[in-house]
Amino acid sequence: MKARYQYRIYPTDQQKQSLAQLFGCVRVVWNDALALCKQSEKKPKSSELQKIVITQAKLTLERAWLSEVSNIPLQQSVADLDVAFKNFFDSCKRKRKGRKVGYPKFKKRSQVSQSARFRIGGFSFKGNNVYLAKIGIVNPIWSRNLPSEPSSVTVIKDCAERYFLSFVVEVEPIQTEVKNPSIGIDLGIKTFAVMSNGEKAESPSYKKLDQKVRKLQRKLARQPKDSKRRNVTRIKIAKLHNRIADTRKDFLHKLSTKIVNENQVIILEDLNVSGMVKNRKLSRAISQQGWREFRTLCEAKSEKFGREFKVISRWEPTSKICSDCGFKWGKIDLSIRSVLCLNCGTEQDRDENASRNIEKVGMGNCHDYKWAQRDCKTTSVAEPCEASRITADENPVSISNPEHNFVCIF
């Protein structure tokens, strides 16, 4: 399987100027090729596009400066456009899984995040340094060793004007011993992850950094456009956003690695994040958690370590059913954090109960067909004639205890 290894670099002023020229040439080649594709009735082949927008364009006065940079990133830009069209057509035909991919767009000159990719022949290793064609030798900060020879390297400049080298390498699956056969994970805001084995992972606090971002954003709104001070403030905001993103990424990487190392089967719930962020009071906190990124990391690392990764349906009533006896409580308000089940008499923590239900459903113990739209049902200990067996449709009466913060359903 392929993986990316990213390292920070600090280019010289001359190299920054050369990289800026390279990023601009890559953007122009992409835009020229996309404009040709829009004008023609049938999409031209990648080789034809390269001949028109690179080889023939260098002979004209308008595009003669394309010969000042390496030819490999320009060819790769056309190849990337071809991949973008392929993904778009596959998405239209429903051959591609995941979100719907839109039509390729033109790249703006004002785009703050820029990149250029070098294939084999455009870069080489010289000791601990990396040579990039027509850029020079750069010295990456080697935080870890590369597992194999890279097939390509991408030079990235982010919105905070930081530079990175991203290597694509082949990695072999790693087999390690597991402690638990399976684990269910319930994701939240204050407590990021509650696991079925009782462990909890608290989310890092972004409050102080978020307050600084809001203060600088108010300052940015008062400054005139295209001024130097506004650009300085914009860079400060970008650096704070990067600190938040780096803190979150570090936390998610460590947590996902720990979970995948210790468990054979990892089970998550398919959350409707796009619907959750419509809540104006919680949208900012939900967006900062990175639930989708955590799911992607767990899925990728499960493949790397030979684990099994499962995602259950978002319609499973994991918070409405007792994990011990299978008794259905019905809908409970979010302010209620623990529930006393009158069927088996156990007091259940809301999140821990949901994580245990996620594990059971993921391992094949399905809930009610009406709720989960599955073929089999969960057996219940309670008798059907009991008056306390009330579903969400029957308007249950709840009595909450303010001292213990739990609710009894009857």
Strand order in the sheet with 180-187: 200-202, 191-195, 180-187, 263-269, 308-312
Q: Could you tell me if 370 and 207 are in contact, meaning their C-beta atoms sit under 8 angstroms apart?
A: no
Report the DSSP pairing between strands 163-170 and 2-9: antiparallel
Ordered DSSP codes for 28-93: HHHHHHHHHHHHSSSPPPHHHHHIIIIIIGGGSSTTGGGGGS-HHHHHHHHHHHHHHHHHHHHHHT
One-letter amino acid identity for 288? Q
Q: Could you tell me if 266 and 310 are in contact, meaning their C-beta atoms sit under 8 angstroms apart?
A: yes
Tokens of 158: 């982010």
Cα(150)–Cα(130) distance, integer angstroms: 12
- Assess whether 333 carries a catalytic annotation: no
Q: Could you tell me if 42 and 85 are in contact, meaning their C-beta atoms sit under 8 angstroms apart?
A: no
Catalytic residue chosen out of the listed positions 32, 82, 186, 368: 186
Helix (H, G, I), strand (E, B) or coil at 306: coil
Contacts of 13 (CB under 8 A, 6+ apart): none
What are the start-end ranges of the E strands in 173-329?
180-187, 191-195, 200-202, 263-269, 308-312
Other residues' Cβ atoms within 10 Å of the Cβ of residue 21: 15
- Assess whether 172 carries a catalytic annotation: no
- Assess whether 269 carries a catalytic annotation: yes
Cα(34)–Cα(43) distance, integer angstroms: 10
- Which burial class, exposed, middle or buried, applies to 84 when counting CB atoms under 10 A from its CB (0-12, 13-18, 19+)? middle
Report the DSSP pairing between strands 308-312 and 263-269: parallel
Cα(318)–Cα(355) distance, integer angstroms: 8
Catalytic residue chosen out of the listed positions 269, 316, 352, 359: 269
Q: Computed over its alpha carbons, how large is the radius of gyration of the chain?
A: 27
Catalytic residue chosen out of the listed positions 32, 299, 351, 368: 351
Q: Catalytic residues, which ones?
A: 186, 269, 351
